[in-house]
Structure 1
Amino acid sequence: MAADLNDSAELMAELKDDINMDQTSVDETGTAETAAPTAVADKPAVSPARTGKLSAQDLIRAFEAEQLKSDLPEIYVGDTVRVGVRISEGNKERVQPYEGVVIAKRHGGLNETITVRRIFQGVGVERVFLLHSPQVATVKVERRGKVRRAKLFYLRDRVGKATRVKQRFDR
């Protein structure tokens, strides 16, 4: 307990020294000028570089940032997308395209999912894709849809041409 207090006291002293160093700067002529004091709120209370430890939350954020795919297009509900899904059969791997209308988007970040609906042999089929999953090889927007809902679950009850979504040209 006493060691923890000493460590925190040392860190506070170092932070105060850093703040004092930031407030005083030396120009080319060698004279010191005092700058406006910087707000302590701008700096983190304890930087991870000084302690050598990252909080669990920072570790999770860093890990998730590495896992995010950067080449994903902007996907909106109502868009017709073609998702390339990696399928392993034995020792072979192939990419199978799955094309349909995005009827829902959920979550965000690493856990972002889209629900894609299509009609296959007269039967409606929906698949949920985890966008940042390694199983999703490619995502391509085939056409933009013009809808006024965040979830298009009403398309489940429609048959034939009634399931069509108007095309949007401005995006």
Structure 2
Amino acid sequence: MMLNNMPIINGDPLWALLGRFRADQRKHKIDLLVGVYRDEYGNTPVMKTVQDAEIHLAHEAHSKAYGMLSGNANFNQQMAKFVLGDSPSLKDQCTIQTVGASGALRLIADLIATLSPDSTVWISDPGYINHRPLMEGAGLTVNTYPWQNKNGQLDIDACFAALEKAKEGDCNYPLN
């Protein structure tokens, strides 16, 4: 059976922290964990403007046919212009839509593996638990660099010392 060979992975420490947060009975706590807005009940509401936009898009839909693999071309063009402004790089960029951030990371990992398979991807430690498997799943080598000391403060000396081992062509996350 194929699934018998599936490795057991550790849980994400961020989600474990979220579980501890939810179990905390204090009334005046603030969830800053994942970076999404939550109301006083811990829910992530869908904003009215987003709901209105979804209704508008549903009413304006002309087809349910597959779209372009890169997503909505007009949206991509406007996002690139928003991010790059009047930069000369605007003519050299390529923008695509993905299924969330992890989808984007896997696509960039596959791109790196195709264009520069000997590259090492450097990720922070601590970091998100899914970054290493996404990069390794594309066949890339992954190394880590520390960015916190024991007090949770930036340890720039340790970070730079680890990254001195990086070679030309390597990437760090955020990717550059």
Fold conserved (TM > 0.5)? no
**Larger RCO: 1 or 2 (CA < 8 Å, sep 6+):** 1
TM-score calculated relative to the size of structure 1: 0.21
Point out the structure with max Rg over C-alpha: 1
- Which of the two has greater helix per residue? 2
- Which of the two has greater strand per residue? 1
